[in-house]
Chains A and B, each alone.
Chain A
């Protein structure tokens, strides 16, 4: 399960609206507790895919390192990443699957004609065969 506070949820929605029709991306920071990942904050990242931002996103190793350093400074962890699917369902693609790692949450937000719609979260199975959808619980 992924627990997201309302502020983080809203920030993801606004980020997705702002970058539409291009994909947005960002990192989820927080702590794991048992089977739950509890997001304390989200950090917007620049989509570094130069060629095709309408249907691809990329976080470079440099940006990843900076996010990891920020998490360490704050005594928390990277719990996963979010990205948007403009005019497309909030379900992971084969491309998402091929580029995912286990033990992280992958949040996808669908943006329909500039309006944020469904938000889902997914976790890669250890055998890399598929994503398992996980529940998102909003908290204050």
Chain B
């Protein structure tokens, strides 16, 4: 079913400047896979080489972090909004 996925500013360069994309999927994992397939430049910034969601990439369904729900298997409904929100981290070594 169609669900809206919000794209953070620095990644809009890979989605033809779109701030949101409507995708079909039953779960968050399906939506993210669709997103990365449709906009291939995004994949390496969302996922590690092993296909895991990068640790600093947070995904929310409405206001809930999917890590506190069912992670990739979190189901989505048509009126849900899925947001990709980076945690900004770094340090000297």
Contacts and interface: CB of A to CB of B under 8 A. Distances in A.
A88 B87 contact: no
Interface residues of B, number: 22
Interface of B is mostly: mixed
A99 B56 CA distance: 6
Contact of B91 (A61, A81, A93, A104): A93
Interface in B5-51: 8-11, 13, 41, 44-45
A7 interface: no
Interface in B34-81: 41, 44-45, 55-56, 58, 60, 65
Interface of A: 23, 25, 49, 52, 55-61, 64-65, 68, 77-78, 81, 83, 85-86, 88, 92-96, 99-104, 106, 126-128
